[in-house]
Amino acid sequence: MSSTADYNELLPLISAISTPEVIEPRIPVDVFVQEAANLYHWCIDDREALTGVGLDWNLVLGLPLRAGACSEAQSLWMKERNSRKQVETDWQNQSQAAFALRDQLIRSFRFAFRKSGHLLAQLDRIAQGNTHSDQVQDLNDLAVLGRSNTELLAAINFDQALLDRAAGLSGQTGHLLGAVNRERKKESETKLIRNRAFTYLKQAVDEIRECGKFAFQNNPGRLKGYTSDYWKAKKKIKPGKKTPTAPA
């Protein structure tokens, strides 16, 4: 069965996990999914010993399904996360060009309107404020002001095509800013589902490992399969040395 099918089959159970139960991954999800797969293949021959200490064997049989669902949930979250990053990148690229144009227009207008106190006062009001939303609005306001005073701008050989560009960039950057603000404020439902899928997988993995550690406490050869290689490796790293962190 594909991970997508696993995800669709288990989604009702995953979604039903209550918020207090949800665990934020402290281990890279792809690593944990692989450890779950490894655990399944390791413990499949230990049925008698594991069920003998009270393990529900359905947890073992369902482990590949839970792992597939978690893998799919992680992929969906990474896809959304990458889309968010692209929105941020588009905003950074677009806003830099837009705000450079804003500053250019203000400098040009100050020179062109230098003999008109009334126009300079209007320009000062437009230039006030330094938030992103202020600067987005400034572009359109400057375009309107410039179109109302084309003769003064022509006198300094100003490229009046920049007025149309300013108006266009105002709309484009305003749209991007709205998208960025929305993404920054909302809590991703996709990430919440990923965390629930991770929790659902971890519940099974933890129970199987606990039973395995108890059942094989006097059998090092079998016991080693019921521990996390990831955390075992982390413990070997000397204090003070940087360790890898799990991705969001």
Instruction: Give the domain extent around 101.
Output: 93-185
Q: How far apart are CA 23 and CA 129, in angstroms?
A: 42
pLDDT at 246: 54
Number of domains into which the chain is organized? 2
Tell whether 54 and 68 lie within a shared domain. Answer: yes
Q: How far apart are CA 34 and CA 63, in angstroms?
A: 11
Tell whether 73 and 193 lie within a shared domain. Answer: yes
Q: How far apart are CA 111 and CA 152, in angstroms?
A: 10
**Final residue belonging to a domain, choices 185, 208, 225:** 185
Q: Is the residue at 160 inside a domain?
A: yes
127-136, 172-181, 193-202, range with greatest mean pLDDT:
193-202
Tell whether 98 and 38 lie within a shared domain. Answer: no
pLDDT-based confidence at 187, cuts 50/70/90? Answer: low
DSSP H stretches of helix in the chain: 3-15, 29-43, 47-52, 57-61, 63-112, 117-127, 132-147, 150-155, 161-185, 189-215, 220-223, 229-236
Interval 47-62: pLDDT, tens? 999 999 999 999 999 9
Q: What is the mean pLDDT of the chain?
A: 90
**Final residue belonging to a domain, choices 185, 200, 218:** 185
